[in-house]
Each structure stands twice: as structure tokens, then as C-alpha cells.
Amino acid sequence: MKLLITGGAGFIGANFILYWMNHHPDDSIVNFDKLTYAGNLENLKTLEGNSRYTFVKGDITDGSCVDRAMDGVDTIVHFAAESHVDRSITEPAPFVTTNIIGTQVLLNAAVKHKVKRFHHVSTDEVFGSLELHSKEKFNEQTRYDPRSPYAASKAGSDHLVHAYFVTYGLPVTITNCSNNFGPYQFPEKFIPLAITNIIEGKKVPVYGDGLYVRDWLYVEDHCRAIELVLQSGKAGETYCVGGLSDDISNIGVIKKITHMMGKDESVIEFVKDRPGHDRRYAIDWSKIRRELGWKPEYDFDSWLEKTIVWYKENKAWWKHVKTGEYQTYYKQQYG
């Protein structure tokens, strides 16, 4: 099988490529990535010189570049996106361009090339926000209610993907997944930001009252879910993917991290809240368990600890990432 992976130089895309190359020795991969601030080929340096792996620097909104990269491809796994909610609040335009227009350009090319599967990697944020302390969870029937420019742009892309199934018969699948954590996550996101700030002796900014709840999933579990959907998922279907944790607040997450890193809670700094901040996410992943036999294998606490170890052992990776554009972003975001 020949796969085109978009956004393969980012956090989840890179983890997915490394996972797939390991588990599918007969397959080849084309990694198509624009290398925005979030794309980093360092994540894939172990694949340099591997004849089963090719990198193409390109923008998914560029139809002719996409068309060339799709030659001989049977399967597309579409990760490429602007992915950070806070950046979407400061500057929404690139989110609409990449996440909506870019997805539509890819879909058109996929129809033209008659690919066997177009898998779209999406998010639980399209469903909006749940009440704190409720037992409610998002599932495949939950009404879309995106509340940030990022979530709205991902919702738009999901609708386009489904429309290409209905209108053109393109064999698509969609996963809507909760918050991932693990190696190679860009330190603008909460967990790697907290870990790397603590290593640097800096405070950890916590938005608002810190009682917001996210559903956490170790990145390799997400990769396995996508693998199963590619192998046995039904065209036209959506699968919700989520973690094992009971509701845990952001403060709860930070307390675990500080404890695991031998620090006290004085590292926490409450800062101005994110506008439109979604209160709570929780995922009901019973459909993918029932139909495809998937369940998360990695529990939150031990894999959070292993993630901390990864950031401690890979200082050069994130110290490099935290220079240049990151410094400007950090000052603008946190003052």
C-alpha cells in the first residue's frame, strides 16, 4: 500500500508515520507537509535514507502540487491543519485557508486519483462544550456546535469530507479524537508547555479558574485507532476516539506533573482566560470498541510520566523549537 500522509511533520502525523513504518514493512509513505512553525523534520530523522519513505514540501491548498504527490497513492491520511485554538483566536484566516480550503483541494484530488480511502483526522472540539460535572459524553450522533475559529474550521472540513462521500462516492472515514499527549508535541500545547516551562524554571500559565476538563489520550493509542479504521472501518462512517481518564481538570493535570517532577504548586500561575473557553470534553468511544475492537491501552498517569521523561531526555529538540517565532508567540499570548 502507498499512503499519502498530510501534516506528517507535526506531532500526531510524525508519531503515526513512525508507527506505520514500524508495523507495516511492505508499505511506503509520502509525507506531504508545508513545514509551518509546527512542522519539524527532526521528528522523522530516523527515516532519512529509508527507501519506503519520501518527503514532499508542499501546501495542501496548492492543487497542482497535491496532484503530483498523489501519483500512485491508494490511501490518504489527512492530518495537516492549523491546530492550536489560541492561535485561531488571534488570527483565524490561516485556519480557514488550510483546514477548509486545503481539505477541499485534497478531496478533489482524491476523487480524481480514485483513492481507495480518504481518512480525515478530526477533533472532538467540533461538538462544542459539555457541562462541568455532568455525565454527558460526545458521541457520533452529537450535534456539531463548534465555538472557536479552530473548531469551526475543523467542523467545516468534516462536513466537506462527508459531502464528498455522499456526492462523489469518495470512500471516506473520519475520526473525532480528544486531546493527545506524548513525544514531539509542540510546546504551545498545555502538557508540553507545562513540562518544558518547569524544566526551564518558569511558571506554568493556567487559564481562568483551571477547572476546565479535557479527555486525554496517549498519541500511540490514537495512531492505533486510525490504523484500525483504515483496515476495517466502513466508508462514510465517523468514529469517536477518546482516553481512559475520569474527568480531570487542568489544575489536576498540573498537580500530577508538578508531583512527578518533584516540584510544588508554586509553579502554577493563573492567567487571563481563553475567550470562549470550552468547559469540558468527554468522549464515548463505545462505537469504535464495539465495531473495530479498539480501546486505549495506555493509562494517563504512567504515560504522562513517560512523556515527562521524553521531554527531559530530548531537551535539544524542544529548546530549538522554543526559539525564534515561538518567543514572539509566547510574549504575545502570555505577556
Catalytic residue positions, numbered: 124-125, 150
- Give the 3-state secondary structure of residue 28: strand
69: partner contacted, choices ligand DAU, ligand NAD, none (Cβ within 5-8 A by kind): none
190: partner contacted, choices ligand NAD, ligand DAU, none (Cβ within 5-8 A by kind): ligand DAU
Nearest to 195 by CA among 317, 42, 297: 317
Q: How far apart are CA 73 and CA 77, in angstroms?
A: 11
Torsion angle of the four alpha carbons 11, 261, 212, 126, in this order, in degrees rounded to the nearest 10: 10
Percentages (nearest 5) of helix, strand, coil residues in the chain: 45, 20, 35
Taking contact as CB under 6 A, which single stretch among the options 27-35, 166-174, 192-200, 291-299 is the one that binds ligand NAD?
Answer: 27-35
Q: SS3 string of 214-231?
A: ECEEEHHHHHHHHHHHHH
Q: How far apart are CA 225 and CA 300, in angstroms?
A: 17
Q: How far apart are CA 192 and CA 197, in angstroms?
A: 8
Per CB under 6 A, contacts with ligand DAU among 277-296 are 281
Quick note: the x/- pattern for ligand DAU over 90-129, rule CB under 6 A, is ---------------------------------xxx----
Residue 170 Cβ, how far from ligand NAD at the closest point, in Å? 18
Q: Does 76 bind ligand NAD (CB under 6 A)?
A: no
Q: Does 296 bind ligand NAD (CB under 6 A)?
A: no
Of 169 and 275, nearer to ligand DAU (C-beta) is 275
Residue 209 Cβ, how far from ligand DAU at the closest point, in Å? 10
Q: Strands 28-33 and 2-6: what pairing? A: parallel
> What are the residues whose beta carbons fall under 8 Å from the beta carbon of 78, sequence distance 6 or more?
6, 7, 103, 106, 118, 119, 120, 121
Strands (E), the chain: 2-6, 28-33, 53-57, 75-78, 117-123, 172-177, 179-181, 204-207, 213-214, 216-218, 237-241, 248-249, 268-271
Q: Does 311 bind ligand DAU (CB under 6 A)?
A: no
Quick note: the x/- pattern for ligand NAD over 123-162, rule CB under 6 A, is x------------------------------x--------
Among the listed residues 87, 189, 222, 280, the single contact to ligand DAU using CB under 6 A: 189
Among the listed residues 4, 73, 77, 85, the single contact to ligand DAU using CB under 6 A: 85
Q: Give the number of residues in contact with ligand NAD, rule: CB under 6 A.
A: 30
Among the listed residues 7, 146, 156, 187, the single contact to ligand NAD using CB under 6 A: 7
Q: Does 98 bind ligand NAD (CB under 6 A)?
A: yes
Among the listed residues 59, 158, 215, 278, the single contact to ligand NAD using CB under 6 A: 59
Among the listed residues 4, 5, 9, 229, the single contact to ligand NAD using CB under 6 A: 9
Q: How far apart are CA 106 and CA 67, in angstroms?
A: 8
**Within 10 Å of residue 286's Cβ, how many Cβ atoms?**
13
Q: Does 215 bind ligand NAD (CB under 6 A)?
A: no
Q: Strands 179-181 and 216-218: what pairing? A: parallel
Q: How far apart are CA 260 and CA 40, in angstroms?
A: 28
Residues that bind ligand NAD (CB under 6 A): 6-7, 9-13, 33-36, 38-39, 59-61, 79-83, 98, 102, 121, 123, 154, 177, 179-180, 186
Residues that bind ligand DAU (CB under 6 A): 83-85, 123-125, 178-179, 189-190, 193, 205-207, 212, 214, 250, 274, 281
